[in-house]
Structure 1
């Protein structure tokens, strides 16, 4: 993609753009409160010169979206009674779109050559007719498991598989096609258990629910064991792999990862690690319920992982948790933050309360809503970059409710409502400033892809009403946390609003006076299926940040990789103005207005360096990493032998080429196990990951301890990849599917290097 900087008009302040838009908008509101005209929000929503209108017609609703087209919305089984036909009608729209998503067969061109596959499932969207693990799981966690448990169980089962090759046998969650050939470059398939948790928590009331619980337990233990072997980095205490959901790497990773997926395979992502933490907690609980001896082990793993998540991803200078960090060899901090990872972290309880509050308050937002990443990346088309995704807004809403952040609760509720009203559907995503479904900016136009009735957006809209407004928690308890600023829209002149579901009626009664910004439960009375909650006002605990970040601000482009030059006793690195230098994961030299030469003293063992550029107080994503140090090269037939010149820790990787698929998709990332048998120590082993790519690359590393003078013998054994799953016998989008599994790469030299003390320390 074009990496040129955006034109000045594209970098215009979002606050200026919004101020202009509010002046021009029909039904514009008084200065100082973008939502003061709440009477309009009852029947119409005006935004940047466009208006959507909702009208009840007795048998349902009629929504006139911003382009003038009318969407007929039939009455639905669940309904709300508020002062806002817009709110009530959009709740009906989400239910109608959920019904449309319920299908008896699914299809995708990469499976069975596009032929229908029988499955009483949910399709992912109007443009996405298949079932994807993460889309389904997030949608189920938000709302589907509660509203459609039987169909949700069935859809989740579709994403379980045994092995048609390799071993050991078991039941595993499917990682869908993805960067570099799928798992373990992408390793967030454990999100499946976030969805299953809601179904396991519900009391099994029939044989199928009980059977599903046992299926969850089997898949959980088998998948966690597999990930522990091939994805977990014991030195870092974290799971490797790509960010969850943000899986179009150029959108949120440095642009050079377009050709370097190996970096992503070896890096560590906040969201993916939080999902593993949640899976471990579920495993601990289910093990205790069964009297299984593994419960303590799962508990210890979860506790240790939580500590490393909080330690590794927290960035004190920003008061935010980073979206991802570098590799074990160079675990550098990245100026990259994402709303889903942060929201999942807050909901998990891993983040200490003070940090959680600070991070959510610091994460930027606009009147239009919250961007899914920050900062925005230059020269990248709109999709994850410069975008709002309603399902992520729903997770942000959940996190805001946990922290009593009235301001963010309000913004996320309005963002979800506004997007659906103006577009006439719960869309996949929106452009950040305009909340439009498409903005024309030439090569940077977008969102690049945008589907109506996207399943997780539909689920997010349902969660926003049931949980976000009426306080219906995932466990069935009631805990409304309603911003006082939403009272004019929802209550109008009424003293109460109601949610009617299949098995309960929830009534919220407004207080006679409101002194505070958050309405919470006071007295609760129950009569049959009717629960009446009298709200009381209080001050929310969250405080606005005093140095709010510009949500639409761009980072500088990533710089070129540094070129260390060998000197007598040092490495000489030329550092341009405004560049930072990182060494072995730590900041070594801060940005300066002047170009300079940095001398890096030579040390025993490898040293790894990268640079970033700082402009307007924002740091770019890192350059590619360059490592220096005396290398060991071992060639010959496998097994290969080598004698250690001195005792120490050594990192070994393999040169390889894997041309079994394109760099952006497939199921044939090669996964092998390097086994080292050195004199005087027990056998050591680790995973070599070799993603797709046209050029010769280096695999992930295996670090071993070697006594001085010891001879070591290296062998390579087969690991496992997604082509081994029976599920992928249907795959026709590339090799490794219908014609049989492939877990292979062309191997070159085995490379080793002594690991320096600084790198050993950073990995502790």
Structure 2
């Protein structure tokens, strides 16, 4: 919708976007297809304010069918719920079952009001004028009025008659105007009457589909050059991805990979019988031990209470403790390395909240990037994994890598910016 409203698409593209984007019975979903085993919020949900943007974009391209569907989605929800809810379940059109919701949600209220101001009246507020370009489907034909509309230094009563995609005439205080706008410096009390053309050039169409779900994301592991993953219901085939490119397809749930001294990442995607694809699995790294350097995290409050760590233990990194963690490392041969950190973060679930830990990474005193430690499960401190990877060129010799908390590393939570740090890992990608 925003691509259409901000003219990122050309005219032909805009029309195709509105006609072809999947739309469900109860409105335009945030995403399509839906993700299995994720409660309705952004997933499997229709948001009235998103629907409002979509309806405005539909009016801009003149797609009556899409405008009617958008208006129905917003008006139906507000009428049945007796308030402007934040969202509703895409499958049922009901607010019951959503993960989070609220009454009188401001952006839903704004979206509902926009259907009057932006669609039925077609108001476009510019610095020097208000332009009018209403779009009224024939099903909504009739006389409408908006009284005591305050615009800058003026108070305006507006009436609009008929239906259509263009204005036949617009009068201000009984005087016909040559342009469909009023000046921005207008003041005092005024009356505007708009007569529509009672024509729709193109009825348009929508891609009305059922609410469907993509296949589950495979859970991939690797052991002794064998990729293994769980069987996915309704999957007809699995795509094997190496370093971002497909290398094979299989109906099996295991795949033998060739042995190699070079670092590689593998992922698996499930393809359903309908052709819908799952997300790519979490990547697994395949690298020889001789090309990997592991460094234990050392600092204040070394602990081993939570199982699953490597080595002798782990340390907490918070805004108060271990704000600077140093890793002295010797590089025997110059090369390009991928650098990441093994950690756990049980401060929240994987799908919401704002307690991701963030740190700056320094190489010999020079900042080279940000390291991110996302939440891995609410109060689940035994789920260990790796941070994002930072590529770095390291000449042979001694170096000091430092993980440091700085002001730019604040997260949205502000109070909690913490994780448990186990190891730093350097993986050789290639010699210089």
Say whether the fold is shared (TM-score over 0.5): yes
Report the equivalent of 1:689.
Answer: 372
1:519 Cα shift?
A: 0.9
Separation in 1 of the partners of 2:36 and 2:347? 31
1:413 Cα shift?
A: 0.8
Q: Please tell me whether residue 499 in structure 1 is matched to residue 146 in structure 2.
A: yes
3-state SS of 1:712 partner: strand
Report the equivalent of 1:478.
Answer: 131
Contact 2:144 2:161 in 1 (8 A): yes
Report the equivalent of 2:172.
Answer: 526
Separation in 2 of the partners of 1:754 and 1:543? 56
Report the equivalent of 2:201.
Answer: 539
Separation in 2 of the partners of 1:572 and 1:449? 38
3-state SS of 2:78 partner: helix
Q: Please tell me whether residue 426 in structure 1 is matched to residue 84 in structure 2.
A: yes
Residue 405 to residue 749, structure 1, CA distance change in 2 (3 Å): same
Report the equivalent of 1:18.
Answer: none
1:663 Cα shift?
A: 6.0
* TM-score where L is the length of structure 2: 0.72
Q: Any idea what the Cα deviations from partners look like across 1:412-471, whole Å, max 9, x if unmatched?
A: 111111111222222233333543343xxxxxxx13444332222212111111112211
Report the equivalent of 1:616.
Answer: 274
Separation in 2 of the partners of 1:598 and 1:357? 47
Return the index of the structure with the highest Cα Rg: 2
1:599 Cα shift?
A: 4.2
Report the equivalent of 2:19.
Answer: 361
Q: Any idea what the Cα deviations from partners look like across 1:610-645, whole Å, max 9, x if unmatched?
A: 322323121123322212224321336553233445
Separation in 2 of the partners of 1:533 and 1:602? 74
Q: Please tell me whether residue 400 in structure 1 is matched to residue 58 in structure 2.
A: yes
Residue 478 to residue 386, structure 1, CA distance change in 2 (3 Å): same
1:607 Cα shift?
A: 2.4
Q: Please tell me whether residue 676 in structure 1 is matched to residue 363 in structure 2.
A: yes
Contact 2:171 2:193 in 1 (8 A): yes
Report the equivalent of 1:703.
Answer: 391
1:751 Cα shift?
A: 0.8
Report the equivalent of 1:154.
Answer: none
Residue 447 to residue 490, structure 1, CA distance change in 2 (3 Å): farther
Contact 1:558 1:613 in 2 (8 A): no
1:370 Cα shift?
A: 2.0
> Which structure is higher in RCO with an 8 Å CA cutoff and minimum separation 6?
1
Contact 2:219 2:230 in 1 (8 A): no
Q: 628, 632, 636: which is aligned to 2:293?
A: 632
1:575 Cα shift?
A: 9.8
Contact 1:573 1:600 in 2 (8 A): no
3-state SS of 1:519 partner: coil
Q: Any idea what the Cα deviations from partners look like across 1:726-754, whole Å, max 9, x if unmatched?
A: x96xxxxxxx3xxxxx5443322211224
3-state SS of 1:467 partner: helix
1:355 Cα shift?
A: 4.5
Q: 444, 456, 473: which is aligned to 2:107?
A: 456
Q: Which has more strand, going by share of residues?
A: 2
1:698 Cα shift?
A: 2.0
Q: Any idea what the Cα deviations from partners look like across 1:240-288, whole Å, max 9, x if unmatched?
A: xxxxxxxxxxxxxxxxxxxxxxxxxxxxxxxxxxxxxxxxxxxxxxxxx
Report the equivalent of 2:49.
Answer: 391
Report the equivalent of 2:420.
Answer: 746
3-state SS of 2:123 partner: coil
Separation in 2 of the partners of 1:523 and 1:564? 74
Contact 2:297 2:421 in 1 (8 A): no
Residue 610 to residue 388, structure 1, CA distance change in 2 (3 Å): same
1:395 Cα shift?
A: 1.8
Q: Which has more helix, going by share of residues?
A: 1
What are the within-5 Å matches in structure 2 for residues 559-570 of structure 1?
559-563=218-222, 565-566=224-225
3-state SS of 1:618 partner: coil
Contact 2:34 2:213 in 1 (8 A): yes
Residue 601 to residue 376, structure 1, CA distance change in 2 (3 Å): same
Count how many residue pairs are aligned between Structure 1 and Structure 2.
370
Report the equivalent of 2:182.
Answer: none
Q: 214, 239, 242: which is aligned to 1:580?
A: 239
* TM-score where L is the length of structure 1: 0.43
Q: Please tell me whether residue 553 in structure 1 is matched to residue 178 in structure 2.
A: no
Q: Please tell me whether residue 719 in structure 1 is matched to residue 406 in structure 2.
A: yes
1:407 Cα shift?
A: 2.0
Contact 1:606 1:754 in 2 (8 A): no
Separation in 1 of the partners of 2:239 and 2:211? 23
Separation in 2 of the partners of 1:710 and 1:349? 54
Separation in 2 of the partners of 1:648 and 1:544? 57
Q: Any idea what the Cα deviations from partners look like across 1:572-595, whole Å, max 9, x if unmatched?
A: 6789751122332344435x6677
Q: CA RMSD in A?
A: 3.6
Please identify, of 409-418 and 698-707, the stretch whose mean Cα deviation from structure 2 is larger: 698-707
